[in-house]
Structure 1
Amino acid sequence: MNPTLKIRYIAKKTAIFTSAAALGMLALVGCAPTTPSAKVEPTQPEEQPATKAQSPTLKNLEMAYNGESNAHVMYLDYAKKADEEGYKGVASLFRAAARAEEIHKENHAKVIKEMGGTPQNTIATPEVKSTQENLQHAIKGESYERDTMYPDFIKEAKAKGEKNAVQTFTYAGNAEAGHAKLYTEALNNLDAWKAPKQFYVCSVSGQTAMNANETNCTVDGVKKPVEEVR
């Protein structure tokens, strides 16, 4: 074969093989199975657990805790004013009542914690006037707690079977009744209350009296400590 023709023959054959190989590769690519794309579902936000509504009794406890905290501060300021004006007996009464309110707020705080709450208060600056006016204001506040606030709180707690709340509300309500009575006695005869007096406060209930036995400081048949306040 002519050398030139031989070279052309080889080149043509090589081109044919190359084209065939290329077509084969394309066929393989076209026939290769494809992986279907994953379907992306929209992300749904996780449902948050519903916030448990605060019980009415817990709200009442928090309100009472704040009220007793403020009364404690107010009565101490009233006692200072009574001392300044020469009403030593009234000053002692206010100090005894202040200690009772402190006991009440401590009792309330304990039950608040038991119910999962946190005791908090906002102390307002007391408005201190004359001893006579301070007694009138104190009587008004104690009478409201005795006749309305604590009876309502006790009723609500009893309906829910919240025994510890019933107990602390009852302690406070009974003590406030005693305070209102003593304040009224002092207001009706202020001159007689210039002389020093001493009072007794039950360390459990805050019950206040001029005689230790009248504090009724007994729990489940066991006598509890009684504090003397002058």
Structure 2
Amino acid sequence: MAEFKNSKTCGNLMKAFAGESQARNRYTYYASVARKEGYHQISEIFTETAENEKEHAKLFMKALLKHGMNEQVVVINDGGYPVAFADTLKNLGYAADGEKEEWTAIYSNFAKIAEEEGYKDVATVFKMIGLVEKRHEARYRKLADNVKKQMVFKKENKAAWICRNCGHIHEGNEAPGTCPVCDHPRDYFQMFVEAY
């Protein structure tokens, strides 16, 4: 087994840490755009996912520390990081594409290398986070499809809609233009699903 600081796994953990940290910031920017465009639920999903990415970065940092990298400098010269910022529909596409690349290519490859180098604990972290990224991709693609089809605030079948401000529940094929209880705009409604 190679000395950890000279291993590919060490560099891969640092790339993953940098990538997750940047994704977190991109998602907070995307959340702001979604909120400004009236997609409050999508904004919250971007914010929630940003917090997930923060935790992923933390796990990668913990793995670096576990393997003796405290107070060390890890140089990564061959990483590529996206610069992509637009409207909510495009941002959802950018986010989905990034998540897909993480789980289908990057983390699966990093896990393979970690196993080959004898760092099975690190390989497990990459694999487990890859499964989360797969779910993130699917969610972003579904949300993008809803935006594209203008189905964020209406559905083909009758549905329950909850006002995120006051909790009022409306039943119908689409969310009301304004909440009859608190007078907040349609932006505050989302489909109501209660599964405990």
TM-score clears 0.5: yes
Find the structure with the greater CA-based Rg. 1
Matched, 1:85 2:42: no
In the other structure, the counterpart of 2:143 is: 186
What is the alpha-carbon distance in structure 2 between the residues aligned to residue 179 and residue 63 of structure 1? 19
Q: Give the equivalent residue in structure 2 for 1:136.
A: 93
Taking the aligned partners of 1:137 and 1:163, their CA distance within structure 2 comes to 31
Is 1:70 aligned to residue 46 of structure 2? no
Q: Does 1:168 align with 2:168?
A: no
Q: SS at 1:189's partner residue?
A: helix
Structure 2 length-normalised TM: 0.68
What SS does structure 2 have at the residue aligned with 1:129? coil
Corresponding position of 1:159: 116
SS in structure 2 opposite 1:139? Answer: helix
SS at match of 1:116: coil
Deviation, 1:196, is 4.8
Listed as ranges, the gaps of 5+ residues in structure 1 are 1-50, 199-209, 214-230
What CA distance in whole angstroms lies between the structure 2 residues aligned with 1:73 and 1:121? Answer: 21
Q: CA deviation at 1:212?
A: 8.1
Q: CA RMSD in A?
A: 3.0
After TM superposition, the runs of 4+ consecutive aligned structure 1 residues lying more than 3 A away are 118-122, 124-127, 191-198, 210-213
Q: Give aligned-pair identity as a percent.
A: 28
CA contact (8 A) 1:73 1:98 kept: yes
TM-score (ref. length: structure 1): 0.58
| Superimposed CA distance per residue, residues 56-98 of structure 1 (whole angstroms, 9 cap, x where no aligned partner) | 1111000000000000111011001100001112111111110
Offset of 1:193 from its aligned partner? 3.4
Aligned residues between the structures: 151
**Residues of 1 paired with 2:17 and 2:25: CA distance?**
13
Secondary structure, aligned partner of 2:68: coil
Q: Determine if contact 1:104/1:171 at 8 Å carries over to the other structure.
A: no
Partner of 2:68: 116
Q: Aligned partner of 2:51: which letter?
A: R
AA at the equivalent of 1:103: E
- Please state how far the C-alpha of 1:172 moved relative to its aligned partner: 1.6
1:56 aligns to 2:8 (yes or no):
yes
Counterparts of 1:119 and 1:94, CA distance in 2: 31
C-alpha distance after superposition, 1:140-169 (max 9, x if no partner): 111111110011011111122212211221
Within 5 Å, give how 1:179-218 maps onto structure 2.
Answer: 179-190=136-147, 191-193=150-152, 196=189
For residues 19-70 of structure 1, what are the alpha-carbon distances to aligned partners after superposition, in whole Å with 9 as ceiling and x for unaligned? xxxxxxxxxxxxxxxxxxxxxxxxxxxxxxxx98610111100000000000
Asked if structure 1 preserves the Cα contact closer than 8 Å seen for 2:21 and 2:54, the reply is: yes
- Contact preservation (8 Å) 1:146, 1:173: yes
Paired position in structure 2 for 1:31: none
